[in-house]
Structure 1
Amino acid sequence: MHLTDCREPTAPYFEPEEFAGRLATVRAKMRDLGVDTLLVSSPENIFWLTGLDHWGYFAPHLLVVPAEGELVLATRAMERVTIAHQVRNARFEGHADHETVADAALRVLRADCGTIGLEAWSSGLPHGLAQQLKHSLHARDWLDVQGLIDDLRMVKSPAEQALMRAAARVSDAGMTAAIDAVAEGASERDVAACAQQAMTAAGGTFPGFGPFIRSTRRLGEEHTTWRGDRFAAGDSVFLELTGCVARYHAPLGRLIHVGAIAPESRAMADLAATAFAAATDAMREGTRFRDVYAAWQAQVDRAGLAHYQRHHCGYLVGIGFPPSWTGGNKVTGLRRDSDVVLRAGMSFHVLSWLMGTRRGDFFVSNTVLLGPSGPEVLNRAPGGVMLR
């Protein structure tokens, strides 16, 4: 990996040996499934295998992974220079704008490709592209291999973990600046400007989601962000953001109060902190995701809020491209019904979210990296009750 204390990371971010190891694990899975050719279309998975980091993923890409031999990365011809600079382990095949990426892929694929694996739920695979591929290629069989690479990405290598820590430092800079910008009469837009400037100055790049900044009238809007609304005394200000370093994200969230906080919300802040600690304490290698959620819910139940339940108390996080920091269009959550097993090297955005309880509102969230000896909370920005 190129990241050092004095040098900004540059794509492809990892040493050739790391990419070779990732490819070897993918090909082992292909052998297990009987897949002769894998067509990778998810931006996060193409990045993980090749290191390609750009805004060009708005147009479809296909990474052709044969059972053996060279990889081929197909997309628009105009991306040739970027891919030449960033990608060391795949040959580029460009298509003109009157063609599609399927035309480029067909130029390098045999007419009979054996069994082809396709990421059927990838955001990078439009229906028309999938139809064109299936119509043009004579495959023995087509297999939906959605999740094959995503599952491998769950556990971060030491080099990836270093990038997660770097992203957390950028996140902390952004959150600290955002908190400092909250004041009576200031606007959501003011807070956004301060947060984004601080993250950029701290070494961050564009994240999968921009900062979520909302005040009292819009607290319940899950995925909207700043407007020009100005804060008044008594308002609550929701802040959730992430720094991004080399496509790795470390989100955190805080709820700030302007001037005063209601006693019931102060009590909820104590519960949010207690429940967050319970969830992280439960994070041990070999534990199931459902057990982490149960540890969080147990604290909520003990406080007399058994009626209040969440769809999860956190989710896997790491690589992300717009429009999300969740690693793609799937959220792998710490849910009450999940039998996924925690492993060292996994990283999570852990949320202790107590909003709409009818007994006050509060929430806090941080990125947590699971190590061999237990959880490490990566974020260090101020938490708890904050009055501005």
Structure 2
Amino acid sequence: MVRPRASEFLLACRRIRQGLWHRHGHVLSSRYFSRFYGEHDPSKNCIRPSFLSGNVLYYHALDIAKIFSSQHRLFNSASMNTKRNPAFSSLRLDDICYFEDIVGNKNVVQDEDRLFSANVDWMRKYKGSSPILLLPNNTEQLSKILRYCNSRSLAVVPQGGNTGLVGGSVPVYDEVIINLSSMNKIVSFDKVNGILICEAGCILENLNTFLANEGFMMPIDLGAKGSCQIGGNVSTNAGGLHFIRYGSLHGNILGLEVVLADGTILDMLTTLRKDNTGYDLKHLFIGSEGTLGIITKVVVLTPWRLSSTNIAFLACNDYLSCQKLLAEARRGLGDAISAFEFMDYNSVIMALKYIEGARNPYLPHHINFMFLLKQPVVMNHMTGPNLKLSYFAQWRQASFLMEL
């Protein structure tokens, strides 16, 4: 199979933006596809990105005409059948022995029960069939694993807490799963500047607990914080509840350590907040979802921990009023807003119906939208933010707000 050159790939990306390619779920079909693969009937072909050891991004063909074959993988709510790419090698006994020499027998998992949880996503929607799960303990072990997989053309899938909802952390077929759960050490913390260096397998909630004792907090907060890992958060550029205050991880990550597909270790663990020397390569890996390399260490700029918070529960009747509410919140509270969460009436009803322990907010039927506004108070003796929220509460009589 012929792989597209870099210039052709960039041209294809430009055509996607120009609307010359058409999206169908998670795959792309195009009349330009035949240039890459010599197929004269582009209506029967599509492409999707896949991670292959030794290649940054590798595109392989899918035959839409064989969509109803026996093997399939779920994409969204529809089944899309894919054929295993012959460029990938199959796992052999000598491969397993080599992995055991690197990470030890106990870190090469072949137990069916543990493999099942690693092969299935949190929603039980996407399922792979990997026969092996590797648990490296440090960057050097991971580098050796990827270097070997590259030489053997073994496909790999990096995995963190496996809390994603889009199937990005589970294999398609029999890829080697590399889970970073064992790489969970806190390397250092600068109490003066609030700079944390930790390994990618650290659980988000554990990092918050550690930082709380130092008077700091993580700039990201997620519903899956009890099991998600910081490496997965960074590789997916997760937003979280505090996005409105602290922004994306592109602005909070100062440095990274990454292992490339060929085993090369890329050390970008700078702690400088102002660094204008050369290319800022870390931004390529934030949000790349493992397609460019596997993140092993992270340098995070952490904000001061909030000593308390004020919360307002607001409701609107239409979407235009929702926009006015957000604008007024920003005008009245400025950067004091740490969360602005939105739910419509149907979402509330579904949560009450299917989530055990969910409490009824006593939402009247005529209210279509409701919000939870969270405002931080950095110091207990600072009354300014409290007064701000009290002032903002006076707007509940405004035309775009409704009584609960």
TM-score by length of 1: 0.27
Kindly indicate which of the two structures has a greater share of residues assigned to strand: 2
Kindly indicate which of the two structures has a greater share of residues assigned to helix: 1
TM-score by length of 2: 0.26
Over alpha carbons, which structure has the higher Rg?
A: 2
Q: Which has the higher contact order (CA 8 A, sep 6+)?
A: 1
